[in-house]
């Protein structure tokens, strides 16, 4: 792994304070940021000293994955099962908090799924193309390193677990009580083909901490058009613009 702007421990500490649920006490008055206007992405670094990586970081996300190099990447071993999850509108997206026990094995590294959330349009681009939505599945390993699996979403047929989630969106900001009959099979969130793009990056929201391993699935997952419309009624556009590669290599599984 090449040298990163923010050390892994710093990236983890920043993320625990601002990104991942229920891991650390939140500040009383956290800096306010948004996706539009004077608090939008171009100004994030000016809102708080802890957000400086948003402007000066060299390995920022998201990116446009152009000219990826084919490589023998390790298989993604998803040890996912069925569970009852909590759905939260955190003011920037809808996030699904996952109880412990959902694993991802990537080579020698083992991650645990913490949560997943949505952006529209997709923050990631592939050869310039964006998708209607993307889901980011956020994992953490025993050393505190983050690994995010991005699943691109396109309009199509029903059948994925995303439709089950998007049909239960919160009516207001905050946590939504989980229906007693709501059981989500996490395997239904994944595409059939497990090929992926691989690169080093950052959180796509403040504090934009670096040291994040990104794995973007090549094959999109279909969701109902009404599911996309339902999310866009809450968040019409919550995607950070793509960031410069700055010499990073993007690999894609053969």
* Per-residue confidence band for 210, with pLDDT thresholds at 50, 70 and 90: very high
Query: 62-100: string of b/e by CB count within 10 Å (b at 16+)?
Result: bbbbeebeeeebeebebebeebebbbbbbebbbbbbbee
CB 195 within 8 A of CB 76: no
Q: How much is the mean pLDDT over the chain?
A: 89
**CA atoms 151, 153, 157, 159: torsion sign:** positive
- C-alpha–C-alpha distance, residues 172 and 104, integer Å: 32
pLDDT exceeds cutoff 90 at 13: no
pLDDT at 181: 66
Whether residue 5 is predicted with pLDDT greater than 50 in this model: the reply is no
* pTM of the predicted model as reported, rounded to 2 decimal places: 0.88
Q: What is the pLDDT of residues 79-99, one digit of tens each?
A: 999 998 889 999 999 999 999
Average pLDDT over residues 184-199: 96
pLDDT bin (cut points 50, 70, 90) of residue 179 is low
Q: What is the pLDDT of residue 180?
A: 63
* CA separation, residue 19 to residues 25, 150, 157, 241 (Å): 12, 16, 31, 18
pLDDT tens for 132-169 read 999 999 999 999 999 999 999 999 998 899 999 999 89
Give the start-to-end residue ranges of the domains of the chain: 8-253
**Bridge partner list, 88:** 95, 175
Question: If 0-12 CB within 10 Å is exposed, 13-18 middle and 19+ buried, where does residue 216 land?
Answer: buried
Residues 121 and 95 sit within 8 Å (Cβ to Cβ): no
Q: What are phi and psi of 9, to 5 degrees?
A: -65, -40
Give the SS3 label for residue 153.
Answer: strand
Multiple choice CATH, 8-253, 3.40.605.10, 3.40.50.720, 3.10.200.10, 3.40.228.10: 3.10.200.10
Which tokens belong to 240?
A: 């950070």
Per-residue pLDDT reduced to its tens digit, 22-77: 333 444 567 899 999 999 999 999 999 999 999 999 999 999 999 999 999 999 99
Radius of gyration of the chain (CA): 17
Question: Three-class SS of residue 106?
Answer: strand
Quick check: bond before 62 cis, omega within 30?
yes
Provide the token pair at 70.
């084919």
Bridging pattern class, strands 210-217 and 146-155? parallel
- CB-based contact 245:81 (threshold 8 Å): no
Percent of the chain with pLDDT over 70: 85
């Amino acid at each position: 792994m090449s040298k990163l702007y923010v050390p892994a421990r710093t990236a983890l500490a920043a993320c625990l304070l601002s990104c991942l649920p229920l891991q650390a006490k939140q500040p009383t008055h956290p800096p306010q940021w948004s996706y539009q206007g004077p608090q939008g992405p171009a100004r994030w670094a000016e809102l708080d000293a802890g957000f400086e990586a948003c402007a000066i970081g060299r390995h920022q996300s998201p990116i446009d994955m152009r000219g990826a190099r084919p490589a023998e990447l390790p298989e993604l071993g998803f040890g996912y099962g069925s569970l009852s999850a909590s759905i939260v509108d955190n003011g920037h997206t809808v996030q699904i908090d996952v109880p412990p026990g959902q694993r991802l094995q990537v080579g020698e590294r083992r991650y645990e799924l913490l949560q997943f959330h949505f952006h529209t349009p997709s923050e990631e681009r592939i050869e310039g193309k964006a998708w209607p939505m993307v889901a980011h599945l956020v994992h953490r390993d025993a050393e505190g390193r983050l690994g995010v699996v991005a699943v691109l979403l396109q309009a199509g047929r029903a059948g994925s677990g995303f439709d089950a989630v998007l049909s239960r969106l919160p009516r207001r900001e905050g946590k939504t009580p989980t229906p007693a009959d709501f059981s989500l099979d996490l395997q239904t969130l994944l595409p059939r083909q497990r090929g992926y793009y691989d690169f080093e990056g950052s959180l796509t929201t403040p504090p934009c901490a670096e040291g994040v391993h990104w794995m973007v699935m090549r094959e999109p997952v279909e969701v109902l058009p009404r599911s996309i419309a339902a999310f866009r009624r809450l968040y019409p556009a919550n995607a950070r613009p793509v960031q410069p590669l700055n010499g990073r290599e993007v690999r894609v599984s053969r």
